[in-house]
Amino acid sequence: MNIRHSRPEDGQRVVEIWRKAVDATHDFLSAQDRQEIDELACGFLPQASLWLAVDETDYPLAFMLIDEGHMQALFVDPDSRGTGVGKALVLHGLSLHPTMTTDVNEQNGQAVGFYEKMGFKRIGHSPVDDQGKPYPLIHLQYQA
């Protein structure tokens, strides 16, 4: 496995990873909210500057978006969960930003557990997500 920056030709695969990961982990989203987020993601992700975890054939398995020390997104293809690709991306992010922060949906218990196991600590809570939707967020920061 390698970690590299995304390229324009990765766009379709990145959207596919996002959709598969959301379908596997975000069952708390309403159908309407899921559709609205999908439209935003399809417009944004293909041209975003992402870090990708790729296999030996350069096939993307997961992606991460970091903006000024805040991890905006980490999505792993469900077929690659448990293989260490998510952990590798987070460790890469921490090598660039040692006190990296992130937000995680409170309803996504698997993600909350993953980040806490990685050493992230709860530093806050919001009753709604960044779009004002009723999906509470837990604010986390890495603490060595």
Tell me the pLDDT tens digit for each residue of 7-20.
Answer: 999 999 999 998 89
Predicted local distance difference test score (pLDDT) of residue 31: 80
The DSSP letter of residue 70 is E
Percent of the chain predicted with pLDDT > 90: 70
Q: Name the residue range of residue 13's domain.
A: 2-142
Total tally of structural domains belonging to the chain = 1
User: What residue ranges of the chain have pLDDT lower than 70?
Assistant: none
Closest CA to 63 of 51, 71, 72, 81: 51
Contact yes or no for 104/112 (Cβ under 8 A): yes
Structure tokens at 104: 């995680």
Contact yes or no for 63/6 (Cβ under 8 A): yes
Distance CA(49)–CA(44), nearest Å, equals 10
CATH code at position 44? 3.40.630.30
Q: Taking the model in full, what pTM does it have?
A: 0.88
* C-alpha distance from residue 15 to each of 42, 99, 121 (Å): 6, 28, 29
